[in-house]
Structure 1
Amino acid sequence: MLPLASNSDPNFRSKTIKTPLPNPSLQVTADHNLKQVDAPVYSPGPNDVLLHIKATGVCGSDIHFWKSGRIGSLVVEGDCILGHEAAGVVLQCGDGVTDLKPGDRVAVEPGVPCGDCFLCQDGRYNLCEDVQFAGVYPYDGTIQRYKVHPAKWCHRLPDNVTCSEGALLEPLSVVMHGIKSAGLSLGRGAVICGAGPIGLIALTSARASGAHPLVITDLEPRRLDFAKKFVPSCLTYQVDRNLDAESNAKMIRALFGVETRQGGGEYVAPETVLECTGVENSVVTACYTARRGGTVMVIGVGKSIMNNLPFMHLSLAEIDLKFINRYRDTWPTGLQCLAGKILDLKPLVTHTFPLENALDALNTCADLSNGSIKVQIVDEKDHVL
């Protein structure tokens, strides 16, 4: 498997090329700073394409790498271009590329697995330990004008799907993998913890999947107001900071009613909880919210160690506490959801910034007082070489 184009990857063998336009990029540094600099432009190697990135969404992980310098074992040890939620236009094709041509609009699947390990061979390539993931040191990401990427991991956009929507396929893929793993049931209740971009995509996807009723929770009332407008049939719950996790869970469960079957036992309590924040207290609340025999699917990214999980409650209630790592085999189906208008994610993009002002985009995303949901960085320059 050929490596991603990265000026920090010693195995990368392609040559730099000159372009009539500069290649502005947004890079994170090992000392927790951001800088906007022109990056090299590489020619596509065999089986690669050179892309003009037209839209990149800012993800919470980009903020984590900037502010904390790491996510679990993923550590920023040097300069690295951020960004992985992207779509763009093919400019050049390397030798061996037959499925794409210059001018094609594509969504970028940012992870390039090794293809040889037992997980890749088993089809679980999202768990590959040697994955080269765009925007994770040392592999440069998509907040730049020009990027080389393997053609295999570029998915052609239908004519009725914009590059902005194409860039939303990455967070949609996270949700799709979580929903598939959780096994949402038609007509069964579900809770979504967190009304950020992932939580809101989970909310509308759960609705499209037939789960009902739906409750979404958050600390921020403005995000809950947005959720209610985005999916009018949902119920909302503002998490009470003055209550413990078990008490908040009791309030959430009350929204589903109190009906019981003869002989006792929960009937309408939520079967599935999609935890989309990764915050420890929210995960604990989710554990107390799911009904006995239910499922808690942790989609959000949290801290490395959580000490307060209610182990015996989970055990006695036989609640499945499950996790996902990114996604696999989701881009084709995600494209069908957008092209077929099963999902409309366009309202989630509340702020856009030109590539040259990418730093402002990250600052806007990092400050919740700005009221952003999904911030995107776009490049309207002509894609010429």
Structure 2
Amino acid sequence: MTPVQLDVQAQESPQNPCLVVTPTHKIFSATAPIASCQPHEVKIHIKSTGICGTDIHYWKHGRVGDLALEKNLILGHETAGQIVQVGSAVRKSLKVGDRVAIEPQVPCGECYLCMDGHYNLCQSVSFLGVPPTNGSMQRYLCTDARFVHIIPDNMSYEEGALVEVFSVAWHGIRKAGGITPGKPCMVAGCGPIGLATLMIADVAGAYPIVATDISEERLGFAKTLVPSLRTYCSDTSLSIHENAMKIRSLFGNSEYVMPPVVLECTGVASSINTSCYVVRRNGIVTILGVSCKNELDGFPFMPLSFGEVDIRFINRYADSWPAVINLISSGKLDASKLVSHRFSLEEATKAFECVVDPTRPSIKVMIVDN
């Protein structure tokens, strides 16, 4: 993917409006040049893009882990739209007018990880909205045709954009293993990734599912998605171990009914460490959440060692788009329930302000351009 050469200034009547973040933690609406469609690419009119926690990290912190913002960048990677141009060398059955969801990563295709099927771990990957590649919060985007997936007519563009969110959850559950009908599991965190994770765990037959969060409101919303859900609002006045024991009580009174799988969706140290005390011995804690920190405080090494607990991580996703599109289009997942707010592309800065405004609780904020 060839990144757009970004030289933007605010204009009143832009032909390609976009949302830009700067290394000095500013966001503003601007105009970007419309990129030329390369032979292996398709040009897409972006119709819907969701705001992700990593977008907020780049705005507020200027980095996610070692991926630092060094110059102005167009944000956005949860996205869907309509093809308006097809490159001359595109062999995939794509045509102008197709409605598509975009897998936002383009790996090198040549390293040992790509050749082994783990292309999500490619160290030369180009990823939308991650430095130095400009993202999808713009009207027109050119991207590699191999990572564009047609969505059926019964899926909206918003649902197409949400395939990215559910792909994180799908990949995390696949990586965890052990999610089988009738087996208990815990989902830590009820942000968009956590909500998507508990929905897929429910579709997979996990029972009971216990969800945790620090917000009673989010837990209440989670129960509207999975009515059988058991919930626990973490008490910050208690120790990690005390919270873990209260969570365990929701599963029952014996070690046998403790969850063999915990899916941690916050990336917050206190939640990760609590999860490590909830999982049963010989169980698996899979961490889906992303943190700005490179090190974890208070990690309970010895309890995990004594219990032979596996700690697993995920990095994005691989080969998930077809499966998630099937789940959403079949009606097994009602992805649209996650959308709480909508803003036009020209109002993108207001959309970001909404996400971080504690007086306006949100789940998934969408930027739309019709």
Normalising by structure 1, we get a TM-score of 0.92
Q: 1:21: Cα distance to partner?
A: 6.6
Amino acid at match of 2:263: L
Q: 1:185: Cα distance to partner?
A: 2.2
Contact 2:6 2:32 in 1 (8 A): no
Confirm whether residue 279 of structure 1 aligns to residue 268 of structure 2.
yes
- Sequence identity (%): 49
C-alpha separation in 2, matches of 1:115 and 1:8: 26
Confirm whether residue 170 of structure 1 aligns to residue 148 of structure 2.
no
Confirm whether residue 4 of structure 1 aligns to residue 7 of structure 2.
no
Confirm whether residue 121 of structure 1 aligns to residue 115 of structure 2.
yes
C-alpha separation in 1, matches of 2:168 and 2:4: 24
**Structure 1 residues not aligned, in runs of 5+:** 10-19, 260-265, 381-385
Q: State which of 129, 135, 147 in structure 1 corresponds to 2:129.
A: 135
Contact 2:155 2:329 in 1 (8 A): yes
Q: State which of 32, 39, 51 in structure 2 corresponds to 1:46.
A: 39
Contact 1:8 1:139 in 2 (8 A): no
Contact 2:6 2:33 in 1 (8 A): no
Q: Kindly provide the CA deviation profile for residues 177-201 of structure 1, in whole angstroms up to 9, marking residues without a partner as x.
A: 1000111122111111001100001
Aligned to 2:24: 31
Q: State which of 291, 295, 299 in structure 1 corresponds to 2:284.
A: 295
Aligned to 1:249: 244
Contact 2:86 2:94 in 1 (8 A): yes
Aligned to 2:75: 82
Counterpart secondary structure, 2:256:
coil
Aligned to 1:341: 331
Counterpart secondary structure, 1:363:
helix
Aligned to 2:305: 315
Farther-moved stretch of structure 1 (311-320 vs 366-375): 366-375
Counterpart secondary structure, 1:356:
helix
Counterpart secondary structure, 2:48:
strand
C-alpha separation in 2, matches of 1:72 and 1:369: 29
C-alpha separation in 1, matches of 2:133 and 2:114: 20
Amino acid at match of 1:362: F
Aligned to 1:16: none
C-alpha separation in 2, matches of 1:8 and 1:275: 36
Contact 2:4 2:33 in 1 (8 A): no
Contact 1:4 1:150 in 2 (8 A): no
Aligned to 2:50: 57
C-alpha separation in 2, matches of 1:104 and 1:78: 33
**Structure 2 residues not aligned, in runs of 5+:** 8-12
Aligned to 1:191: 186
Please report the RMSD computed on the Cα atoms of aligned residues, expressed in angstroms. Answer: 1.2
Contact 1:25 1:143 in 2 (8 A): yes
Contact 1:258 1:268 in 2 (8 A): yes
Q: State which of 204, 208, 217 in structure 1 corresponds to 2:199.
A: 204
Q: State which of 355, 360, 384 in structure 1 corresponds to 2:345.
A: 355
Aligned to 1:103: 97
Normalising by structure 2, we get a TM-score of 0.96
Amino acid at match of 1:86: T
Q: Kindly provide the CA deviation profile for residues 316-341 of structure 1, in whole angstroms up to 9, marking residues without a partner as x.
A: 01111110000000001111111111
Q: Kindly provide the CA deviation profile for residues 231-283 of structure 1, in whole angstroms up to 9, marking residues without a partner as x.
A: 11101100001011111000000001103xxxxxx111111110000000000
